[in-house]
Amino acid sequence: MAVVYGKEASMWKLQGKESFLQILHRYMEVHGTVYYETQRPPEVPAFVKNHGLLPQHELQQLLRKAKLFIGFGFPYEGPAPLEAIANGCIFLQPKFHPPHSSLNHEFFRGKPTSREVSSQHPYAEQYIGKPHVMTVDYNNSLEFDSAIREIMRTKVEPYLPYEYTCEGMLERVHAYIQHQDFCALEPPFIPANLSRQGSAGGSRITGPLFVPLPNSTALGWVSNVTAPAAWPPLSSLRLLVSQEGQSCVEACQSAGFICEPAHFRFINNKEALRGLEVQCEVVDSEINHILPAFSVVRQECGLQREPLLFSCAGHSPKYRRLCPCRDFRRGQVALCRDCL
C-alpha cells in the first residue's frame, strides 16, 4: 500500500496528478490523510482510501503498514518524508525541471533568495537516496511506472539518518556551543596582518594563502599561516571555481563537498584569485550576491563589499564564482570532519 503526502485538499489539485495516481493504483492500494469536515474532498480520486486527518500515533501506525510514501511536490522539505522513511517506507518524490526558484515559482516569488530546489525534499534526494528515496520525473509515465515496479521489488529496513537522532542533534548543539564565541566581533574580511608561523609578529605574509590539495582540483588553506580563530576550522576549507551559470551549491556538490558561507570571508581577496591563477585586468569591489567571481571573457574580477550578501546559491551566466566548499561528516552534514 501507498500513503500520499498531502493532508490538505489543495495539494491534490496539482495538474497532471491523475495520470501518475492511476499508474500507482494499478500496483498498490492508495491511502490518503486528507482533512475534510462533512463530505469527501472532491479533489481526492474515488479509489483513494481516505482516513481523514489522523492523530500522530495513528499516522505512525499507517506508515508502518505501508510500502510507499509518495509526495506531490509540496510542501517543500517537510518532516513527514523522514518520518515515513524511519517507519520503513520508501519515499517517492518528483524531480523539478527546471528547479523551483524565485524566478519561476509562485511559492518563492518575492522572497530574497537565489536558491534553486531540485526536488520536493533535496536533503532526502542527496543525503539519503536509494533505496530509501527515489526521485523521478512525474511527467514521464514510463519513468514513473518503472520506479513503482522497482519499489515493489525493493525491501528496505526503517532508516533514520544519524543527524536526525537525539544523539546526533545533541552532538551538533555541543559542537556549535563549544567552538563558537557568540560575543566576539568577527571581522567581515580576512585581516591584512596575517603572519607565517615563526615570523616576526604581525608581519604581512609574502607567499600564497592557498595551495593545491593532493588528488583534488580544490585548493586548501596553507597550514603555516596563523589565521584568526574560525569555525568551521580552516582545515575544512576547499576553494573551488564554479562554471559559468553554476552556483557554489552545485560546484561544491559536484566535487563531493558542501558550500560553507562562513568561509567566504577567507576567499574574498586577491590571494584567492592568484591561487586559482585567474587573469584579472581589473579587480573591483562591489555589492553583488554572486561575488567573489570573475569573467573569463572580459578578464574582470569582483570582490564582495557587503558581507551580508555572501551567497552559496547565486549564479550568473557571465561569471565563474569563487566557492568556499568544505568537507562534511557522513550522517552529520552540518559538521566538517575536524569539527568535533
pLDDT of residue 195: 58
Do the Cβ atoms of 91 and 133 come closer than 8 Å?
yes
pLDDT of residue 201: 53
pLDDT of residue 223: 78
pLDDT of residue 196: 60
Do the Cβ atoms of 298 and 338 come closer than 8 Å?
no
Cell of 249: 551549491
pLDDT of residue 219: 93
Q: Which helix (H) or strand (E) holds 270?
A: helix 270-275
pLDDT along the chain (340 residues), means of 10: 90 81 95 83 86 93 97 92 97 94 89 90 94 95 96 96 96 93 80 59 66 89 77 93 94 94 93 91 92 92 94 93 95 93
Q: Which residue has the cell 550522517?
A: 331
Residue type (1 letter), 63 = L
Q: What are phi and psi of 240, to 5 degrees?
A: -130, 165
Is residue 121 classed as helix, strand or coil in its secondary structure? coil
- Give the integer Cα–Cα distance in Å for 23 and 116: 29
Q: What are phi and psi of 226, to 5 degrees?
A: -80, 115
pLDDT of residue 253: 93
What residues does 211 pair with on adjacent strands?
220
